[in-house]
Amino acid sequence: MVEPVLKHRWPKSYKEAVRLQERLRSRLILGDRTGDVRIVAGADVSYDKGSDYYHAAVVVLKFPEMETIEETHASGKAPFPYIPGLLAFREGPIVIKALKKLKSRPDILMIDGHGIAHPRGFGIASHLGVLTGIPSIGCAKSVLVGEFREPGARRGAKSPLVYKGEEVGRALRTKEKVKPVFVSAGHMVSLDTACEIVIKCCTKYRLPEPTRRAHILVNEVRRGTLTTGISTSRIALTSCPSPGGRGVKEACHSERSEESALLNIYNSLLAHYGPQHWWPGETPFEVMVGAILTQNTNWGNVEKAISNLKRSDSLSPEAINAMPETTLAELIKPSGYFNIKAKRLKSFIRYFVENYNGKTEEMRKRSSAQIRRELLSVSGIGPETADSILLYSLEMPVFVVDAYTKRIFSRHGFFPPDSDYHDVQRFFMDSLPEDVKLYNEYHALIVRLAKDRCVKKSGQCELCILAGCTNEAQ
């Protein structure tokens, strides 16, 4: 949705870049052409350490509510060296690349940089404003040119930033007793309006939410930790689905946006509940045992059974293999169905010891498809248990599906409630990036949500974090 209205070749030399800045400056509009401001986008850039490889993130928020609507990011190699005053030539191309991925068109573009508070009156915020045709604001953490007096201590206090006798921006106190930010008009926004928008975008932090969130996102992208917040284009959730999911599918997602919709739900859950630290278990072997014992019971009961095994020094493949089935049944009694589970556990341990010497590292040398086939051939191990072992014990990228997954996502219209295990699994694995950490945390969050709000009888939608699943971009 954000296609540049003006395109130019990105210069390679200092002289060329300065000439282009001077030429483009004549296109600047410094009065208000903002219209009704409903959405604001913030952009930020981050570099890989000691490298020219860099990343840009754009976060789009509702104004003035500051709810995230959409996020995009892009990565690449910086085409221009760092030269103060020519930042647009280094960072502009990557920000434009991220902007092009947006599905919405922001009313305001806020850049962590300067607009006209610049040696040639044409900083990166002005440059991107002119290229995109979107009214733009520079909101920088430090001064590039000009002088200012410290504004008053109260939030909202401001003082002029003066360069060559002209007010080119303002030092704006966005948080009491915290250093000011430096606001300048970029393009099609007056300085008064720019300051007003920036202060409305500041919640409890010094930096306005659009650039603050873009900063967080771009660092996640750089660190490769986006599994706790992954997307190339995340789309916001808004109105609540009916618990029965009627009519939700059309509103909630389309094939095109399945990844976005799933990642958006994931991000919402993670932000709300935090990491779940699954699977509880001190060793991969303990996780395997837990995966079998947790069938048809709650985790509290499994913990008691595992404690019994630990207390009797029996939580090892060798000990369980050597133990009579009746003794094992007695020890795991708290997990329920203990005779059946003792038989299942013995079958599994036999397979594990005979084929892999009781060593998970030996198992990890095989493909997940092979291990899965083998596990499913062990008596009493079904797809969910096999996949739990693959994901949580062997750390292989296999999405675990359970009744909770089907309940929540069928209520949101992603698939019918009676969908087959493997169809649901394929849906998730085809839609999401292959990522062990993501699959791990996502499943744990699904379980948390199902127990907290999306209970069997009917979901407590009005209290639920997923009370809203309309893809606004559709």
Give residues in contact with ligand SF4 (CB under 6 A): 241, 243, 408, 411-412, 449, 453-454, 459-461, 464, 466-467
Q: Are 461 and 243 in contact (CB under 8 A)?
A: yes
* Distance, CA of 146 to CA of 166 (rounded, Å): 9
Minimal CA–CA distance to 450: which of 401, 399, 383, 405? 405
* Residue 359 or 453 having the CB closest to ligand SF4: 453
By beta-carbon proximity to ligand SF4, the closer residue of 129 and 241 is 241
Cβ at position 450, least distance to ligand SF4 in Å:
8
CB atoms within 10 A of CB 462: 9
Nearest distance from C-beta of residue 466 to ligand SF4, angstroms: 4
CB contact burial 240-274 (16+ within 10 A = b; e otherwise): bbebebeebeebbbeeebbbbbbbbbbbbbbeeee
Q: How far apart are CA 384 and CA 423, in angstroms?
A: 13
**For ligand SF4, which is the closer residue by CB, 49 or 457?**
457
Cβ–Cβ contacts within 10 Å for residue 276, how many?
A: 18
Coil, helix or strand at residue 7: coil
Which CB sits closer to ligand SF4, 276 or 308? 276
Shortest distance (Å) from residue 239 CB to ligand SF4: 10
Q: How far is the CB of 298 from ligand SF4 (least distance, A)?
A: 20
Q: How far is the CB of 137 from ligand SF4 (least distance, A)?
A: 36
Burial of 463 (0-12, 13-18, 19+ CB in 10 A): exposed
Give the nearest distance from C-beta 261 to ligand SF4 in angstroms.
Answer: 13
| Least distance CB 427 / ligand SF4 (angstroms) | 17
Query: Which is nearer to ligand SF4, 190 or 242 (by Cβ)?
Result: 242
* 3-class DSSP assignment, residue 223: helix
Pick between residue 240 and residue 319 the one whose CB is nearest to ligand SF4: 240
Closest CA to 435 of 222, 203, 263, 195: 263
Nearest approach, Cβ of 452 to ligand SF4 (angstroms)? 9
Residue 118 burial (C-beta neighbours within 10 Å; 0-12, 13-18, 19+):
buried
Q: Do 368 and 387 form a contact (C-beta atoms < 8 A)?
A: no
Measuring CA to CA, how many Å separate 80 from each of 122, 271, 375, 397?
A: 17, 36, 54, 39
Q: How far is CA 432 from CA 73, 200, 224, 437, 439, in A?
A: 17, 35, 16, 12, 9
> Which C-beta is closer to ligand SF4: that of 280 or that of 468?
468
Q: What's the closest the beta carbon of residue 213 comes to ligand SF4, in angstroms?
A: 24
Residue closer to ligand SF4, measured from CB, 319 or 467: 467
Rounded Cα–Cα distance for residues 205 and 217 (Å)? 16
Measured from each CB, the residue nearest to ligand SF4 is 459
Cβ-based nearer residue to ligand SF4, 159 or 238: 238
